[in-house]
Chains A and B, each alone.
Chain A
Amino acid sequence: EDQVTQSPEALRLQEGESSSLNCSYTVSGLRGLFWYRQDPGKGPEFLFTLYSAGEEKEKERLKATLTKKESFLHITAPKPEDSATYLCAVQAPDSWGKLQFGAGTQVVVTP
């Protein structure tokens, strides 16, 4: 069965302390990999889609990268407002529309 594993489960950072989150997957022939941010009590908010190994995308302090087996979400000089749970999801080649999510990484950034 295809799996999506995120690590670490939780991450506590000082403001300005850069770090990376990992999302590893076992899907062959990945159709797309998606990163979402989720605040408590809210639905996931779309961040990025990556389609092929070597692809990178950036948005403010966030940068997502993709290899054949994993994706990284780099947070550069985080601020307290970057505190959230970050979810990755994959779409397998035989699963039109269906996203398979990891359990998420809960990030807390303290001032």
Chain B
Amino acid sequence: GAGVSQTPSNKVTEKGKYVELRCDPISGHTALYWYRQSLGQGPEFLIYFQGTGAADDSGLPNDRFFAVRPEGSVSTLKIQRTERGDSAVYLCASSQTVGTDTQYFGPGTRLTVL
């Protein structure tokens, strides 16, 4: 079956611009997660959703970052006033439920802020 998909695969933007990154989870998965991965590091947790609500947003670095999942399926990660330090691969994952259920990752969106 279809896995987690993310669009775009690559995004290049200029410092100060606004970007949106999209995630389509596996059909039927109620939990959705966003992580950020810098070169040579493991993924770093940002936020996760159970259904439509953000259950834990403790990993969002500051108020320039925001994520939504209005219908409990597709999610969008929004970054305002991008900075060069935001450059990273943004990974999305989904799981059937929250807890110790396996998280299945998408291919990621590589964000480059010039």
A-side residues, CB < 8 A to B, are: 4, 31-32, 34, 36, 41-46, 49, 51, 87, 89, 91, 95-104
Inter-chain CA distance A42–B55, complex, in Å, is: 26
What residues of A have a CB within 8 angstroms of the CB of B105 in the complex?
36, 43-46
> B33 contacts which of A46, A51, A97, A102 (Cβ < 8 Å)?
A97
Binding stretch for chain A, among B68-76, B77-85, B94-102:
B94-102
Contact B56 A98 (CB under 8 A): yes
Q: How far is the CB of B114 from chain A (nearest CB, A)?
A: 20
Most chain B C-beta atoms within 10 Å of own C-beta, residue among A41, A42, A43, A98: A43
Q: How many A-B residue pairs have CB under 8 A?
A: 70
> A103 contacts which of B41, B48, B91, B107 (Cβ < 8 Å)?
B41
Inter-chain CA distance A91–B31, complex, in Å, is: 15
Q: With A32-B100, A51-B100, A97-B99 in contact, do A104 and B42 touch (Cβ < 8 Å)?
A: yes
What residues of A have a CB within 8 angstroms of the CB of B35 in the complex?
99, 101
Q: What's the tally of chain B residues with a CB closer than 8 Å to chain A?
A: 29
Inter-chain CA distance A36–B44, complex, in Å, is: 14
> B45 contacts which of A42, A44, A99, A102 (Cβ < 8 Å)?
A99
Most chain A C-beta atoms within 10 Å of own C-beta, residue among B4, B42, B45, B56: B42
What residues of B have a CB within 8 angstroms of the CB of A99 in the complex?
33, 35, 43, 45, 103
Q: With A31-B100, A43-B4, A43-B108 in contact, do A101 and B48 touch (Cβ < 8 Å)?
A: no
B-side residues, CB < 8 A to A, are: 4, 31, 33, 35, 40-45, 48, 50, 55-56, 58-59, 91, 93, 95, 98-100, 102-108
> B40 contacts which of A51, A96, A103 (Cβ < 8 Å)?
A103
Inter-chain CA distance A44–B55, complex, in Å, is: 23
Q: How far is the CB of A45 from chain B (nearest CB, A)?
A: 7
